Amino acid sequence: MTEFGFIEQIRRLFASLPDQGFEGIGDDCAVLPLAGDEALVFTSDLLTEGVHFLRHATTARELGGKSLAVNLSDIAAMGVSPVATLLSIALPQDATQQWALEFMEGYRQVAERYATPLIGGDTTRSEAGITINVTAIGRGPVSHLKRRRDARPGDRIFVTGELGGSGAGLREILAGHLDTPLAALHRNPVPQVDEGRWLGARHEVHAMMDLSDGLASDLRHILDLSHTGAEIDLESIPVAAGADLQTAACGGEDYKLLLTAEASAAERLAAEFRIRFGTPLYPIGRITAQEGLVWLRAGQPEALDWRGFSHY
Amino acid sequence: MTEFGFIEQIRRLFASLPDQGFEGIGDDCAVLPLAGDEALVFTSDLLTEGVHFLRHATTARELGGKSLAVNLSDIAAMGVSPVATLLSIALPQDATQQWALEFMEGYRQVAERYATPLIGGDTTRSEAGITINVTAIGRGPVSHLKRRRDARPGDRIFVTGELGGSGAGLREILAGHLDTPLAALHRNPVPQVDEGRWLGARHEVHAMMDLSDGLASDLRHILDLSHTGAEIDLESIPVAAGADLQTAACGGEDYKLLLTAEASAAERLAAEFRIRFGTPLYPIGRITAQEGLVWLRAGQPEALDWRGFSHY
| Structural domain total, chain A | 2
Q: Is residue B151 part of a domain?
A: yes
- Chain B environment of A84 (Cβ under 8 Å): 20, 22, 24, 30, 32, 42
Domain boundary, last residue among B119, B143, B167: B143
Same domain? B58 vs B151: no
Which among B84, B110, B143 is the end of a domain? Answer: B143
A112–chain B Cβ distance below 8 A for any pair: yes
- For the cut 90, the answer to whether the pLDDT of residue A6 exceeds it is no
**Residue that terminates a domain, selected from B101, B128, B143:** B143
What are the tens digits of pLDDT across the range B93-150? 999 999 999 999 999 999 999 999 999 999 999 998 999 999 999 999 999 999 999 9
Interval A43-98: pLDDT, tens:
999 999 999 999 999 999 999 999 999 999 999 999 999 999 999 999 999 999 99
Residue B226 sits in the same domain as residue B175: yes
pLDDT reported for residue A305: 85
pLDDT at position A309 is: 62
What mean pLDDT is reported for chain A? 95
- Do A247 and A298 have their domain in common? yes
Domain assignment present for residue B100? The answer is yes
The yes-or-no verdict on residue A311 having pLDDT over 50 is no
Indicate which of B3, B9, B29, B44 best probes the interface with A, i.e. most A CBs within 10 Å of its own CB: B44
**Judgement on whether residues B34 and B158 belong to the same structural domain of the protein:** no
Contact B120 A30 (CB under 8 A): yes
Q: 3-state secondary structure string, chain B?
A: CCHHHHHHHHHHHHCCCCCCCCECECECCEEEECCCCCEEEEEEEEEEECCCECHHHCCHHHHHHHHHHHHHHHHHCCCCEEEEEEEEEEECCCCCHHHHHHHHHHHHHHHHHCCCCEEEEEEEECCCCCEEEEEEEEEECHHHCCCHHHCCCCCEEEECCCECHHHHHHHHHHCCCCCCHHHHHHHCCCCCHHHHHHHHCCCCEEEEEECCCCHHHHHHHHHHHHCCEEEEEHHHCCECCCCCHHHHHHCCCCCCEEEEECHHHHHHHHHHHHHHHCCCCEEEEEEECCCEEEEEECCEEECCCCCCCCCC
CA of B103 to nearest chain A CA: how many angstroms apart? 11
A289 and A162, same structural domain?
Answer: yes
8 Å CB contact of B126 and A9: no
Please tell me if residue A101 touches chain B, with a CB cutoff of 8 Å: yes
Give a yes or no: residue B9 inside a domain. Answer: no
Q: Does residue A155 have a pLDDT over 90?
A: yes
Residue A185 sits in the same domain as residue A83: no
Q: Are residues A138 and A168 in the same domain?
A: no
My answer on whether B114 and B171 are in the same domain is no
B310 within domain boundaries:
no
A117 and A246 together in one domain: no
Do residue A124 and residue A163 come from a single domain? Answer: no
| Lowest mean pLDDT, pick from A187-201, B231-245, B298-312 | B298-312
Q: Which of B88, B103, B311, B312 to mutate to test the interface with A (most CBs of A within 10 A)?
A: B88
Q: What is the CATH number of the domain that holds A165?
A: 3.90.650.10
Domain that holds residue A102: 8-143
Query: Is the minimum CB–CB distance between A7 and chain B shorter than 8 Å?
Result: yes
The whole model's pTM is what?
0.95
Of A27-31, A88-92, A197-201, B21-25, the one with minimum mean pLDDT is B21-25
Of B3, B18, B119, which has the smallest distance from its Cβ to A115's Cβ? B18
Q: Which of B88, B127, B133 sits opposite A49 (nearest CB)?
A: B127
